[in-house]
Amino acid sequence: MSFTPFKLAISAEMVFLDLPFTERVKRIHALGFSVEIWNWTTKDIQALVATGADFTSMTGYISGNLTDPEDIQQLLDSAQESLAVAAQLGCPSLNLHGTGLGDQGLPVKPVAQTTGRMWLSACKTLEKIARLGEDAGRVFLLENLNTEVDHPGTPFARADDTLALIEAVGSPHLKMNLDLYHAQIGEGNLIELIQRAGSAIGEIQVADVPGRMEPGTGEIHYRAIARALFGMGYSGVVGLEGWASGDSEVALERFRQAFTLDG
C-alpha cells in the first residue's frame, strides 16, 4: 500500500502561470495540495481566504535585513505586519531570508563577506523575530539560498549558516526552511544534511537541479530523500517551489509521486 507521510504544498508563484493568482490557488487546492505564497502585499488576501485553501507558508517580511540597525527595524516592523496577514490566512509559518531580496531574487544590499559582527547582529535580530513568533503562536522559517546561480551576494545563505543561526537562537518559533534545490547547488550531500539538521527543520522545499523544476527532471534522487525524511520521523511540510517543465498538473502529480512511499 502506498502512502504519503508528509503534508505536500505548492508555491502558487511558480505553477499555473496562465491563470490569475487566486485561480491558481483554487486549482492547487482542488488537486489536494496545500498552498504557499510569496509577497503578500501584492495579493487580495480576502479573496485568498475565500478559496478555503490550506496555506502553509508565506513571506514573513516586506523589507529590511538582519544586520543593519535601520534595516533591522524595517524587518521587525514588517514581520509584525506579516503576522497579522498570516492570522487572516491561518498560515502557521512565515519565511525569511538572510537579507531582503529585490528583482530576480537579488539582494537589496549584497554582501561580499559576512563578518563576526554581522553574525552577532543576525543572531540578536532572529531572537527578536522568534519572540514575535512566540507571541503570535506562529513559526518563522529561515531559508537557505544558493549564491552560485540564483542569489549572489546573499549573506547567511548556505544551509550550514541558517542551521547555525537557528541553533544559536534555540527557539521553537524559529526553524529552518531547508530548500534542497538551493542546498544541492551550494553544498550537496543532501541526506546527510537533512539528518544533521533534524529537529531544526520546520519545512523542506524542493525542486530539481538543474532548471528548478519538479522532481524527476534533474539529478536529485527525491525518492531516496523521501525515504530518509520518513526514516528520521519527519512528517511536516514538503513544498514544491519550482517551475513546471510542461503541464502544471502533470508536474504536481510527479511531485506527489516522488514523496509517496510504498508500505
Question: Rounded to an integer, what distance in angstroms lies between the CA atom of residue 65 and that of residue 108?
Answer: 9
Chain centre to alpha carbon of residue 182: 11
Residue 73 has phi, psi (to 5 degrees) of: -65, -40
Write the DSSP assignment of the chain as a string of letters: -EE--SEEEEETTSS-TTS-HHHHHHHHHHTT-EEE-S-GGGS-HHHHHHTT--EEEEE--SS--SSSHHHHHHHHHHHHHHHHHHHHHT--EEEE-SS-B-GGG-BSS--S---HHHHHHHHHHHHHHHHHHHHHT-EEEEEP--TTTT-TT-TT-SHHHHHHHHHHH--TTEEEEEEHHHHHHHT--HHHHHHHHGGGEEEEEE--TTTSBSTTSSS--HHHHHHHHHHTT--SEEEE-SB-SS-HHHHHHHHHHHT-EE-
Q: Does residue 210 have a cis peptide bond before it, meaning omega lies within 30 degrees of 0? A: yes
Question: Rounded to an integer, what distance in angstroms lies between the CA atom of residue 211 and that of residue 136?
Answer: 37
Catalytic residues: 143, 241
